[in-house]
Structure 1
Amino acid sequence: MSAYFTEPTYEAAVIELFTQMGYTHVYAPDLNRTDYTSPLLDSVLLDSLVRLNRDLPPEAIHEAISKLKNFDGGSLVEKNRTFTGYLQNGVEVKYFAKGEERSALVRLVDYQCPENNAFYVVNQYTYVENGSTRRPDVILFLNGLPLVVMELKSPSQEEAGVENAYNQLRNYMQDIPSLFIYNAICVISDLSANRAGTITSGLDRFMEWKTRDGRYENTAYAQFDTFYEGMFQRERLLDILKNFILFSGDAQRPVKILAGYHQYFAVRKAVEKAVTATTTDGRGGVFWHTQGSGKSLSMVFYAHLLQEALDSPTIVVMTDRIDLDDQLYTQFARCAEFLRQTPVQAESKEHLKSLLEGREANGIIFTTMFKFERGEAALSTRRNIVVMADEAHRGQYGFDEKVVYSENDQGEQEARVVVGNARIIREALPNATFIGFTGTPVSAKDRNTREVFGDYIDVYDMTQAVEDGATRPVYYESRVIHLKLDQNTLNLIDATYDVLEQQSNTATIEKSQKMLGQMESVLGADPTIQSLCEDIVAHYENYRANLLTGKAMIVAYSRPIAMKIYRKLLELRPGWIEKIGVVMTSGNNDPEEWKTVIGTKSHKEELARKFKDNDDPMKIAIVVDMWLTGFDVPSLATMYIYKPMINSY
């Protein structure tokens, strides 16, 4: 098919698609423009703002237009961030009426009624800035604002593909940056590959949109019309502009993020399910999107949309580990501008209680599940509370009450009653809706997870994520190390694995605790650590040090074993002192010599920065539980796993 398309005929085919979707086509040379230095369709913009803001006087409209044309100093990204706030929330203006100064928001878009907006698809739009004359292939103008810039390449020329289109867009941002102040979405396309991104996206973050309606069937080779019709139907585009574009990152390096198709449709389904669940059984479903596919950002989009769908609900984001709580809180805090409220992290059980008791609306509260206590009165009986549980498959969410027997130090049997955390949390928030987010599938035997959350809302598994380029494929290599273990030790290992294969509920953990302690002594024995570290050093130096940027992660069985691995590696390679770091939680009873290695919270944050920096000498991170989820290092090429892998998929 591509042999019949030159660049002009392909451009014409794309424009035809947009006219069929209700856009008005304008060939830019027919506009009779006299000012080629304006990136806006000025007359369309003025007419649109007057139409959308009929209750406001002309001076309010003109002040809004003045703000749209005059941005304070700053980088292109900073100006674009300001404009994105205008686009999503309106332009704040002041004006005088009857001798009094008043404030108002001038809406740039009618998000509720697409027919009230002016959608234009314009080709060959000439724009002049700082002596540079450029002519992007296609621009989508919404109410006179150039929100989407498309660069199309000839499908019939092998050397002119999406990479060339991407490079051309980057050059445009240097040559005519003012056009991109107003940009929401960038598109690169050559018929066979069609991708969308933002002004901060690298080529690898420009993603395809492979479905029109959210079904993932037949998405391996989506046709170009699926891309355009999936993203740019007028109602869909308005939804994306309002609810699925945000800024994240820190103040020094803000990142503009456009949701992928898997995030968009899954979040929409999750919101619909939540609306139903708040008036029925409170089970908001399970949101399974594989690790690395942007699950944390999907949670942000979901929390944002719930504000309108559920009339300002209170959202409780719950994890089962402090480091996960910190990671998610940091992600949400970076998106506070998009969320229109500042999240709060509960510091203690008392703090959590004070945050929930008496609250009538709003609030995004982060907590670990262990801050909920059994036997207390309900913290809130409101229905518009949504509990978002991360890593909801782990098995800590049971309802059952069990009697657990264990041995004390004198060898005597003791019994105690253990209640599933789901029951404790339900008692604290009896009318809340619960949604579970997970990066791994829920076992068919896991009755508790379904009992708490319900069935799957959406599934985006590893196969689909790799196919889309959202995550990278994982290749496993078994490393066999000769440890010279006797038969009794081997029997102990087999027995331990049998225990780990069972459901990891509280009773099982109690039963296996002593056995796992014996396992620790086997895996942490000095000869074992010596053999392990010699193998890691040889494998890393011979095969992995020069792969990508040489970043590697060692996952240790336990904290003491992590420290032993660290010491042994430095003994074998003293020159690696800047190359290796240990990332794990600290404890009050840790040996004093551990303190300088583990460090403080700020030390861990610095290690994270170093490990993500491809040019930093830190190349190997030794971890136990931290950094295994919600931690993105695109250049990480190698992971050495020295712990049992349970229910791996």
Structure 2
Amino acid sequence: MPKRKKTPELTFQQHIADYLVREHKYGVLEQTEITDTEHCIAEDHLWAFLKATQGDQLKKLQDDYGTDAREEVFKALRKELGHTPLWMLLRHGLKVRGLEFRLFYPKPRSAASAATAKYAENRITFRPHFYFGAAIPGEKQWEVDFVLFLNGLPIVALELKHEANQNVHDAVAQFAKRDHAHKIFQYPFLYLAADTNDVMAATDPRREENFRWHNMGLTNASTNPDEYPVEFLYREVLSQEQLLEALSFFLIRVTKREAEGDKQERPAFTIFPRYHQGRLVRRIAEDITAHFAAKGDIGKKYLADHSAGSGKTLSICWLADRLHSLYKPGTSGKLVDITFILTDRKSLDTNIREDIEKFAHLKDVVGIAKKSEDLPRFLKDRKPIIVTTQQKFAWVLEELKNVPALKSLRVAFLIDEAHRSQEGQMGAAIRLPFRKADEADAEAEEQDPEELIAKVIREHDVNQLFVAFTATPAPATVSLFGEPFDTYTEAEAIAEGYIVDVAASIISYKTLYNLHCHFVPPPEEEEKVYPKGVVSKVLMNVAFQDDGLIQYKAEVMLRIFEENVMPLIKERAKAMIITSSRVAGLRYFNIIKEKLKEREATYKVLYAFSDFTHPETNAEIHEHAVNELKDGELIEERFEGEDYRLMVVANKFQTGFDQPLLAGMFLDKPVIDRNAVQTVSRLNRCHEGKKDVVVVDFTNNAKAILKAFQKYRKGTPFEPDEPDPELCPRLHAEILAAGVFTQNDAHDFVMRAVTGTDAQIQFVISGLRVRFQARLTSPEDRKNFVYRLARLVKSFHFLACFFTYPQEIKEFVTFAEYVGPQLIKQGSLSDLMKRIRQTEVIKAAVEYQGVTTSAGPVKLQPGKGKK
């Protein structure tokens, strides 16, 4: 071959080649060593590996086939490669005339394994300027810049460009334009396109769209001034450790899906983890192993702050697989006995079920608790990985504490979407009478599983490991877990094309209304206490459930949907209407259904909600009946149909709902902070042809929504906040200083509560109430005092998990928890609803506010509609 002219690209290639030899000790493969040019196999290398590691098996084959034994091996290999991906043969082995042969040895999961010596026999080599085929007779051969081989078999192909003249996109285009009939574009499990600043990766190089970003972050950078910004590519990604790790753990084969109904046929394909997914799994595995080596336990907690579109579900599954495979350092004993994957839905998350089922090598160790009897059976059988819901956490915890055979187990909990703050017992108790008044969507009261999980995490059992995944961590979550252990931001997900930017602009409307209440309360009603925010929220519901306003807004929604949303995604786009309550949602559904009928529209609407009793008619309203679903059919499955384009929702599917065809959202319910990000992010899933989305807000809340996205776009905005040990003593002192109750009151009450009857307890409380009313004459002062008692109780339940408090504070908290709610006659559901039912909308308007963008509001066409 003529000597190549030195170019920036060749300098870049030579730098990587030198690094692979110097740092990774890889050998350089000569082109002539690739003796099977059709199948790109360096036969002598594979044969040498088999002889070094499986001599006994080869001898058995040679006993039957003599000198033809070698040809039998390669004949069997070529035949299998005709229908099985090479990486799967590497993982599972090759059968030759009834004998099993390993084509590589993975890193032993236990240091005590006898396979350690065989692992050392693996050989990675690389061929720079790998030549294949011939373009035109007499012309030069085509080449790939680098091909890496494992034991003589091709596993990775690279195309490199230097930004002095070309970039990563040129490398991708070069892969896509090749003759893909050649085996070098079929056998490797990873195709990498890179320039000096960026990396893209694919498992199938035939289409440019298959290549996705594989960068460290928004910007790649090396800490070594002598290395290129993409040093991580040749230092980490191409290391033997990570390449063999991919073969052993990370690679997943998704089977072919036949065409069925509206679903098109999907060919089988391979998944390789994105950079941040591999990073998270490795970091946790390394950290918990080191922690165990130092402390002898796994009592740690980790927070993964990974944006929507991060592939969180797969990350959870990969982490579960890795934890299952960890061994105590230097032994053959498992580090984690059972790993629980906890979803935040009462019915198991479809995404988790589908993704965990892709891990075919785990089929015998994973238990998915679909039925009530599954979980006890899995726990009894000690299934290494168990998938269940957060609602089952309390039961699991009791079993681990009380069953002798389970007490000593080391257990990991992987928690999906840990995003709600924990409010404590008193906060829930105060709002309890207003569940239905607060919102027509209230479910039956039950213990929040996340609150129990948080309590257990605070108590920190050394046999329990917790990993929480969330895209929008709350301050309480950060306080509980500490700063995120690993972060993948929304800005990264958008830049890499994994999600659509849904917060670039919002069409804004303002719903204006005047309310009038005919009810005049008697004087004794004036001091009734209602939780802050409850009354304003209920009054807003009166307006947002008004038929006239809904009629007008529904018309606006349909016009915007038909003009701006329907044409998107090749006229397949769908939209979601977020309503303020189930009553409002039902009215929207019926009104839109009627309007579509009048229009003779070709598309339909669905209504997603939890079953409820209508507060005005007492009729039982069921999701299945309203939507005419078939037995066992889920509404999300119906929504996949091409003719269903609109979905009205009430407190459902605002988190965790993946429908890539969603490109429109109409907000008729105020959403703030994390809830705003989670709700609007339902639109961010990518789909071929999806470039734009339409968000319309009817609550004059567009600026706040965009502000929330800016707040979370670059990761958690919160710093870990150390709990304040002085808060409870401070509140205790303030309450005593008010001169209403004394410490002796608390002590006497607690003693009476332990030994007395309920009648005696109520007699004492009656006297305390009289004193309370005498000392505090203003209704406002009384309410503020009761809320201060509630704050003490709430703070104590959180902080007592971190600090030890003196007996007098514990005693006073018990007193406040019992007496506080009885000092003022709580306003009840019937009290509040008596007033609300006599409140009506007397004047209303829907006013167009323009388009609000991340750069500020833009007024387009002014418009105003009136009722």
TM-score range, shorter chain: 0.7 to 0.9
Identity of aligned residues (%): 20
User: What is the CA-CA distance between 1:265 and the residue it aligns to?
Assistant: 1.3
Q: Does 1:391 align with 2:400?
A: no
Q: Which residue of 2 aligns with 1:210?
A: 215
Which residue number in structure 2 is paired with residue 16 of structure 1? 18
CA distance 1:195–1:300, shift in 2 (3 Å): same
In the alignment, what sits opposite 2:123? Answer: 118
Query: Does the alignment pair 1:314 with 2:322?
Result: no
Work out whether residues 5 and 155 of structure 1, in 8 Å CA contact, stay in contact via their aligned partners in 2.
no
CA contact (8 A) 1:210 1:230 kept: no
CA distance in 1, matches of 2:231, 2:40: 27
Query: Which segment drifts farther, 284-293 or 250-259?
Result: 250-259
Is 2:57 the partner of 1:36?
no
The CA RMSD measured in Å over matched residues stands at 4.5
Taking structure 1 as the reference length, what is the TM-score of the superposition?
0.76
Cα gap change, 1:582/1:408 in structure 2, threshold over 3 Å: closer, same or farther? closer
Alignment of 1:605-616 (within 5 A): 606-607=637-638, 609-610=640-641, 616=642
Structure 1 pair 382/92, CA: closer, same or farther in 2 (3 Å)?
A: farther
Deviations 1:431-454 (A, max 9, x none): 75242433333222x16x754x56
- The answer on whether the counterparts of 1:45 and 1:145 sit within 8 Å (CA) in structure 2 is yes
Q: 1:421 aligns with which of 432, 447, 452?
A: 452
Aligned residue for 1:496?
none
Q: Residues of 2 paired with 1:593 and 1:225: CA distance? A: 55
Report SS of the residue matched to 2:349: helix
Distance between the aligned counterparts of 1:199 and 1:375, measured in 2? Answer: 47
Structure 1 residue identity aligned to 2:386:
I
Q: Secondary structure at the match of 2:130?
A: coil
Specify the structure having the higher radius of gyration (Cα): 2
Matched, 1:188 2:193: yes
Is 1:372–1:424's contact at 8 Å kept on the other side of the alignment? Answer: no
**Residues 155 and 511 of structure 1, relative CA distance in 2, 3 Å threshold:** closer
2:354 is matched with which residue: 318, 330, 337?
Answer: 330
The answer for the alignment partner of 1:289 in structure 2 is 306
Structure 1 partner of 2:78: 69
8 Å CA contact retained: 2:176, 2:208: no
Q: CA deviation at 1:120?
A: 1.6
Q: 1:264 to 1:456 in 2, by over 3 A?
A: same
* Partner in structure 2 of residue 441 of structure 1: 472
CA contact (8 A) 1:152 1:189 kept: yes
Instruction: Select which of 526, 547, 554 maps to 2:547.
Output: 526
Aligned residue in 2 for 1:494 = none
Please give the alpha-carbon distance, in whole angstroms, between the structure 1 residues aligned to 2:429 and 2:550. Answer: 38
Q: Which residues of 2 match residues 544-583 of structure 1 at below 5 A?
A: 544-549=565-570, 551-557=573-579, 558-574=581-597, 579-582=603-606
Q: Give distance in 1, aligned partners of 2:638 and 2:146.
A: 44
Cα distance, 1:56 vs. partner? 3.5
Tell whether the 8 Å contact from 1:580 to 1:620 is kept in structure 2 after alignment.
yes
Residue 389 of structure 2: aligned partner? 367
CA distance in 2, matches of 1:350, 1:361: 14
In structure 1, what residue type is equivalent to 2:144? Answer: P
Task: Summarize the Cα distance change of 1:593–1:340 in structure 2 as closer, same or farther, 3 Å threshold.
Answer: closer
Residue 47 of structure 1: aligned partner: 48
Structure 2 CA distance for aligned equivalents of residues 129 and 342 of structure 1: 48
Q: Does residue 270 of structure 2 align to residue 256 of structure 1?
A: yes
Is the Cα–Cα contact under 8 Å of residues 198 and 215 in structure 2 kept in the other structure?
A: no
Correspondence list, 1:531-542, <5 A? 531-542=552-563
Match of 1:142 among 150, 174, 182: 150
Judge which range, 55-64 or 364-373, deviates more: 55-64
Q: 1:153 to 1:206 in 2, by over 3 A?
A: same
What corresponds to 2:488 in structure 1?
A: 460
Aligned AA (1:344): G
Structure 1 unaligned regions, length at least 5 = 96-102, 490-507, 611-615
Report if aligned partners of 1:40, 1:146 keep a CA contact under 8 Å in 2: yes
Q: Distance in 2 between the 1:592 and 1:435 partners?
A: 36
2:384 aligns to what SS in structure 1? coil
- Helix, strand or coil: the match of 1:237? helix
Report deviation, 1:40.
0.9
Q: 2:28 matched to 1:25?
A: yes
CA distance in structure 2 between the aligned counterparts of 1:336 and 1:320, rounded to whole angstroms: 22
Q: TM-score, with normalisation over the residues of structure 2? A: 0.59
Contact 2:574 2:662 in 1 (8 A): yes
What residue is the counterpart of 1:237 in the other structure? 243
Map 1:159-178 → 2, pairs under 5 A: 161-172=167-178, 174-176=180-182, 178=183
Q: Could you list the per-position Cα deviations for residues 142-163 of structure 1 after superposition, in whole angstroms to 9, with x for gaps in the alignment?
A: 11111112234564555xx544
User: Counterpart amino acid of 2:304?
Assistant: F
Q: Distance in 2 between matches of 1:454 and 1:209?
A: 28
SS in 1 for 2:302: strand
Could you tell me how far apart the structure 1 residues matched to 2:530 and 2:14 are? 65
Deviation at 1:180, TM superposition (A): 4.1
Whole-angstrom CA distance in 1 between matches of 2:285 and 2:458: 24
C-alpha distance after superposition, 1:37-75 (max 9, x if no partner): 23211111111222233553344696765443212865x
Equivalent position of 1:339 in the other structure: 362
Q: Contact (CA 8 Å) 1:44, 1:144: kept in 2 or not?
A: yes
Q: 1:305: which partner in 2?
A: 322
User: Which whole-Å deviations, capped at 9, do the CAs of 1:350-404 have from their partners, x for residues lacking one?
Assistant: 5423322x33452333234257449776363243321111111223697999856
Give, as a single letter, the amino acid of the residue that structure 2 aligns with 1:386: A
* Alignment pair present for 1:642 and 2:668: yes
For structure 2, the residue ranges without an aligned partner over 5 or more in a row are 62-68, 109-115, 259-265, 328-333, 438-444, 518-528, 613-619, 675-711, 713-867
Give the deviation of 1:205 after TM superposition: 5.2
TM-superposed CA distance for 1:628, in Å, is: 4.5
CA distance in 2, matches of 1:421, 1:641: 32
Instruction: Identify the match of residue 225 of structure 1 among 225, 231, 252.
Output: 231
Q: Distance in 2 between matches of 1:201 and 1:136?
A: 14
1:322 alignment partner, SS class: coil
Q: Which residue of 1 aligns with 2:501?
A: 473
Bigger Cα displacement from structure 2, 126-135 vs 599-608: 126-135
Distance in 1, Cα, partners of 2:372 & 2:423: 19
Deviations for 1:451-490, whole angstroms, at most 9, x for unmatched residues?
Answer: 4x5653212222333344443333254444354411569x
Compute the displacement of 1:233 (Å): 2.3
SS of aligned partner of 2:666:
strand
| Corresponding residue for residue 87 of structure 2 | 84
Deviates more, 1:285-294 or 1:16-25: 16-25
Quote how far apart the aligned CAs of 1:321 are: 1.4
Selected match of 2:104 from 105, 108, 111: 108
Q: Distance in 2 between matches of 1:516 and 1:372?
A: 32
Letter in 1 for 2:188: N
- Secondary structure of the structure 2 residue equivalent to 1:270: helix
| One-letter amino acid of the counterpart of residue 269, structure 2 | V
Judge conservation of contact 1:553–1:623 (CA < 8 Å) in 2.
no
| Equivalent residue letter for 1:40 | I
Q: Is the 8 A contact 1:387 1:435 kept in 2?
A: yes
Which segment is superposed worse, 299-308 or 189-198?
189-198
Is 1:198 paired with 2:221? no
Q: Contact 2:35 / 2:43 at 8 angstroms: preserved in 1?
A: no
Q: After TM superposition, give the deviation of residue 246 of structure 1 in Å.
A: 1.6
Displacement of 1:248: 3.5
For residue 473 of structure 2, give the secondary structure of its aligned residue in structure 1: coil
* Mapped contact 2:157–2:191 kept (Cα < 8 A): yes
Contact 1:392 / 1:436 at 8 angstroms: preserved in 2? Answer: no
Q: Find the aligned partners of 2:316 and 2:241 in 1 and give their Cα distance.
A: 22
State the alpha-carbon separation in 1 of the partners of residues 242 and 188 from structure 2: 17
Amino acid at match of 1:70: K
Following TM superposition, by how much is the alpha carbon of 1:170 offset from its aligned partner in structure 2, in angstroms? 3.9
Q: Do the aligned residues in 2 keep the contact of 1:286 with 1:458 (CA within 8 Å)?
A: yes
Q: SS of the residue aligned with 2:415?
A: strand
3-state secondary structure, aligned to 2:672 = coil
Letter in 1 for 2:356: F
Shift of 1:509: 13
